[in-house]
Structure 1
Amino acid sequence: MSGNHGSNPAGWTGTAVAMVGFVIGGIALMLTPVNMTLFWVGVVVALAGLPVFLVMTRMGLGDSPH
């Protein structure tokens, strides 16, 4: 395992995007009545964290290969 495991812009950005998606989805479920459209927007945003991470890693913003 690398010495800076998880301490790179790709990892932090991917995690932040996923967290924002979870927050949006959670807020949507707490509304009365439940806003399913906003919930699914949150799901899409949360899932977008993975491609964001992968693209940023390919751009060289992730851990360097060993």
Structure 2
Amino acid sequence: MADNHGNTIAAWTAVTIATLGFVVGGIGLMAYSWITFWIGVALLPIGAVAGIVLAKAGYGAPKNALKSRQPAGH
């Protein structure tokens, strides 16, 4: 496994936004507020897209991070 597995700006941003989406959605369910619930649901793909965009912008794990940890012959 890569040394920086999940420890990148892209990963932290995606997880933070997704967690916020789950929290907002849960609050919306408990308060019977469908608008709040759907805002939380909308945050989930936003978090995924933000992570992908940041990774492509160079804030993710390097492409060769996994290759450098492979045993010889693989």
The TM-score range, normalised by the shorter chain, is over 0.9
Structure of greater Rg: 2
Whole-angstrom CA distance in 2 between matches of 1:46 and 1:19: 8
Q: Which runs of 4+ in 1 moved over 4 A?
A: none
55-64 or 41-50: bigger deviation: 41-50
Aligned equivalent of 1:38:
36
Whole-angstrom CA distance in 2 between matches of 1:41 and 1:7: 27
Structure 1 unaligned regions, length at least 5 = none
Q: Give % identity.
A: 38
Structure 1 residue 38, shift from structure 2 partner: 1.0
Aligned alpha-carbon RMSD (Å): 0.7
Structure 2 unaligned regions, length at least 5 = 65-74
1:6 counterpart = 2:18: no
Using structure 1 for the length normalisation, give the TM-score. Answer: 0.92
Whole-angstrom CA distance in 1 between matches of 2:53 and 2:45: 14
